Amino acid sequence: MNRTKIKKAICGILASVMCSIALTPSVPFTTPCKAAADSYADIPSEYVSACDWVWDNRIYDDAHEDWMKDYATIYDQLIAGNGTVQYLIRWDSYQTITYEQRQRLELVLNEALNKWNDCLEGYENWPFDDVKVKIVGWSVLDRNCLQDIHADEVIYTDTMNSTMREDIISSGMAADAAKIPTIEPSEPTDISRYVHWSDKSWSYNGSYDNRYDMFLEGIDGMIDQGGFGWHYGQYLSADAILGLINGTASQHILLHEMGHGFGFPDYYGGIGESDGIPPGDFPGGEGSVMEAGRAFQITSFDRWFARYAWSKLSAQEGRFDLSAVTVPEPTEPPTEPTTQPDEEPTSGYYLGDINSDGQITVADVVLLQKWLLAVPKTHLADWKAGDLCADERLNFLDLAMMKRLLINS
């Protein structure tokens, strides 16, 4: 597979505070931003101008990259997969990973992809309110790194000489070059959609359900605050992936690299430059999650550009067959493999104070961690006080934010 067009995204140091949460009684929770425009005509004019510039100067007229030329973007993957993206995980690492961690990784990928889907929900003819990530296989250096393998897990153990090691070192993305493996897990490319998307007769070993659309590769020795991304997948450090699983790492690098999967470019240059940002800067003043180091979440510009790009792509004759899309019945989003709280909190509570003692202490962190690990007889007095992500569920991202809140308080 030709990997000469890999784009790097060196994302800088994590912001010291992921968000600002005051130690005062909670205000009502808000829902994540959904599409605020029904159609292209509703996009604000200042965003249309900025999107036009990016489209004309950074995508189709870019001398080096045709970001959305191949019918292999995540837009294409989701339409072809009826709202599902199937991942192969390439574990280019000798660190062990438990069955529970492998389950949580699927949840992490679901959450990240649905943050991008929230930008599109309700917009024009985009068919999906929610999308689903399914991990369909693990390709590993050493099978023993996967603990407690279950019978329904698909494991690949073939390896090849590393195609990424020299790129990581030469790009300055190595934290410890000696730890970067000289081999990497092979791909079963006979079931790769990226390899075969243009061959409508390809059988994917008998069924399209056998395919994988993209891979996520975790690499030992790579810096945590950076990655690579393209239509065929994302490359992060193995430590960063474990941090995402355990709730101790920010999602912004994963969101950035997923953005490349939609066809969105990096913004490394200055205002109006060939590798830069639109004249006058991004509307909204938030920058873009695709501008490494500036934004740590999907911004207003990213949301509008995701919709703008869908309008452009869906207008291309023959690109999408929306009549073939079978939208599944709405389902609850993926949840952590634990029992969700079933008691409503009292009317007054403090964010983070899940044991209701009037303050945030280490005891709250320990209690939430025990609950997430399904320790028997663990009871949360006010579970909503722990919902720091304001998404009506508790997971390891809430735990990470609670730890940050405790440190800052």
Higher pLDDT, 390 or 280: 280
pLDDT tens-digit map of 259-273: 999 999 999 888 888
The residue behind tokens 């709730």 is 247
**365 SS3 class:** helix
CA trace torsion 158, 164, 168, 171 (10° rounding): -170
Q: Picking from 16-25, 157-166, 232-241, which range would have the lowest pLDDT averaged per residue? A: 16-25
Q: Picking from 95-104, 244-253, 348-357, which range would have the lowest pLDDT averaged per residue? A: 348-357
Reported confidence tier of residue 14, pLDDT bands at 50, 70, 90: very low
Report the C-alpha gap between 71 and 220 in whole angstroms: 31
Q: At residue 33, does pLDDT exceed 70?
A: no
Q: At residue 374, does pLDDT exceed 70?
A: no
What's this model's pTM, rounded to 2 decimal places? 0.74
pLDDT of residue 26: 28
DSSP codes joined into one string, 105-166: HHHHHHHHHHHHHHTTTTSTT---SS-EEEEEEEEES-GGGB-S--TT--EE--EEE-SSHH
Reported confidence tier of residue 393, pLDDT bands at 50, 70, 90: confident
Q: Picking from 146-160, 279-293, 318-332, 366-380, which range would have the lowest pLDDT averaged per residue? A: 366-380
Tell which residue, 248, 233, 254, has the closest CA to residue 90: 233
pLDDT of residue 9: 42
Of all residues in the chain, what percent carry a pLDDT higher than 70?
82
Reported confidence tier of residue 65, pLDDT bands at 50, 70, 90: low
Q: Picking from 102-106, 318-322, 347-351, which range would have the lowest pLDDT averaged per residue? A: 347-351
Higher pLDDT, 331 or 131: 131
Report the C-alpha gap between 226 and 258 in whole angstroms: 13
Q: At residue 408, does pLDDT exceed 50?
A: yes
Mean pLDDT value across residues 8-37: 35
**236 SS3 class:** strand
- What domains does the chain contain, in order, with CATH numbers? 13-30+337-409 (1.10.1330.10), 43-324 (no CATH)
Q: At residue 346, does pLDDT exceed 70?
A: no
